Structure 1
Amino acid sequence: MAYHHSSVDDEEDTSAGIPRRYAWIVFALTFGLLISDYMSRQVLNAVFPILKIEWALSDSQLGLLSGIVALMVGLLTFPLSLMADRFGRVKSLALMAMLWSLATLGCALAENYQHMLIARFMVGVGEAAYGSVGIAVVVSVFPKSMRATLASAFMAGGLFGSVLGIALGGAIAAKLGWRWSFASMALFGLVLAVLYPLVVKEARIAPQRLASFRNKGKTVLKRPLRTLYSTRSVIGAYVGSGLQMFVTGSLIVWMPSYLNRYYAMGEAKAGSVAAIMVLCCGAGAIMCGMLSDRLCRQSPLRKIEISIAYCLGSCLLLSLALILPAGPVQLVLIGMGMLVVAGTNGTCAAMVANLTHYSVHGTAFATLTLANNLLGLAPGPFFTGRVSDVIGLHGALQWMPLMSIAAAAVFFYTRHHYLNDVDRAKVQDAVDAPCKPACEVLS
């Protein structure tokens, strides 16, 4: 799963003159497309068992079908987000949705593994920048006092979409066949892709100051852009988050197959139980974020210490679960592990925001998305599948939580530099303050 942040400076209110009812319509449609994004991405996991038998695929081949989407999201989120700012966010979002929906329809029509791989590649291209551009649209139409709440709610759409994709995909596959699982997700996305630009208009949501940024921002943003990589702590936040996402992504992708093989569940039931696990992951991410905010008010270092605790806690719970035989106790422990495995999402996002210049927060979170995908969501499912081909899926999942120890080690290193790096970022903000009027927008 990928998380993004507003690219609009928190001191600016870009919602002036936008009726509240229209703002909520924009939110609903943008949120709906985000759900479609993740439904199209995760429906594949529900039909892994069917494809494995029908096309005689190895687990590494199945893992690549999932990982190719995350790989393209990681590689393209940065450049496509910048292009969306230049050519128009609404037009870009509609084109992205049309592309991933048509590609998902291509999955339904695939005749062999190679066709499916190409279609999944195009799904990744279409979805690459939706999260970062979509959240920029959402926060631009609401008052600044609502941005944090709306950003959290919007990001939860990815988890809801994952749940629906896995649960509905499994149920539809059991009733109508796996091709209709993909086709139904594609039709939902196509309808929203056509409706979106008819209702959401660029002229009503784009701040007038964007034109000024496009003309002047390239020069004045040169120094703030350096904050994306200028401290050891911000690089540690990227790397630690990506390594922990290796575990999260592997669990979400392979859980339906694990339930199918070791609990003898059909596709529909396995999809439903896996969806509950994903809900645990989403609910846990929100609760862990709230707990982090509450505990870190007086001590900035606690963000990192809590991140270490989430990594080690998830490793312990999942390792204990996976040394047990299949049964209710194992499922409970896996669910408990899922509650904390994504806890670092919020803490890492906060660290990145604290360590980068306000004018490049959108680009900073695209960089975080890049790390999450290239270090975690893309390689995690693929390498887990590769190991599964050698020692079985259960054995592969037993090794997978150990990546959390590597993530904890990175956060431990980051802890020793964090306070000095935050102070350095504050000094840089003060130095760059005169350029603020010209560089207030970047996504």
Structure 2
Amino acid sequence: MEPVKTVAVTGASGYVGEAVCRALTKRGIAVRALSRRDPGIAGTRFVAYDLRHELEPGLLAGVDAVIHAAAETSRGAEPDIEAEIAALHRLADAAEAASARLIFVSSQTARSDAPTGYGRLKASAERIVLDRLGAVVRPGQVYGGPEKGLWGTLVSVAQRAPAIPRFMPEPRVQPIHVDDLADALVLLACEARPRPRVYAIADPRSVAFSRFIQLVAISRFGRRPIRVPVPLAPIIWALRGVEKLGVRPAFVRRLASLNDLPALDSVADMAELIPYHRRFPDGASRGTFCHRGLIREGVVLLRYATGREPDRWLLRSYARAVSSVGEAGPLELSGLTRLLPRGLTLFDQPAARRRNGEQDALSRRIDLALLLAESSAQHVDGFLMSSHTPTRLAQILQLGLALPLEAVGRLADAVAGPWLDRVRPRPIEGSDHPA
């Protein structure tokens, strides 16, 4: 089998298409970027492409594979199905003439009886691609990267909304980072001929939709919007009643689509294509090295370790150290703990450390904060008895105040240790439920 040299990507300037172009160029594969706008990515050759127009002759000449990620988004949840199907036929014909394999980016909502025209369109398109012996990829809830498309909308909600509706029953989503999805698409494009079937690309573990948005808010903006329980069925019934009056808000169909979202059985496909994918909410932050979550965590743990406000250098050192050793995301610290860091004494007890074992993130990070503080010029004097009499007296007073708090912590652990273990701060974890 000859290596793949050139791949065409439709919708190259879109959310998923842009990530696919980056993933291809990193592998040294030439990219023919087919879109209405130039994605501006080095290593790509832009070719103007519009779903509504006929293809130029020879558009796919010399192309080894086509990743079809383009979609008409101007009409929202109700696209022009006939026009998009005609565009797919034109693209599939051109790919067949060029002997290029076809990979189609579908949707988790793809069903012939889907509440939205978008879901029904994707179901029809899947059948056409499979009949043409192409491969279909159904991604889960795509997140991370540039704030585009639905991800951009969800980020905006996470940033601004004071509360998030927690629909009952609660819809669940299966996250997949946009770069992991791109890697899976590239692997399929590089196969000699992908099997003509549907590939499910999503975390096998699901997360409640309101929790998904809340975790985006925590990891990206350091805020924690409350989740307000809202019965879902009465809302849908009421909105459908409005539809019967001739008003057809797209929100109704989108809400019904979210409520009826089918689970993706993705275990085998993820193991085959991207076994080492990111676990949500990893990748949901802005991606800066010393991102805000670890900086905020460092403020609390270093104040606990030293009793003083840490400087910027020490906070950056803490964030770098946590990131460099491959730790999970920031600890989910309560508002009370952030206000009163000394409250961590309740969890930082010898018996609690033994119960939670060597893999306990809180214990490791407290030890890291102590180590960094002891080696910093700003705080090293706090760990040594000063020769300056007023300072030494202040240190003795501080130790005297700490002893009663330590005694309270040991007593609390002896009385309510198992309960404290349940509320113990742990790294933010979102995907807690099998699909």
Calculate the TM-score normalised by the size of structure 1: 0.23
Find the structure with the greater CA-based Rg.
2
Bigger RCO (CA 8 Å, 6+ sep): 1
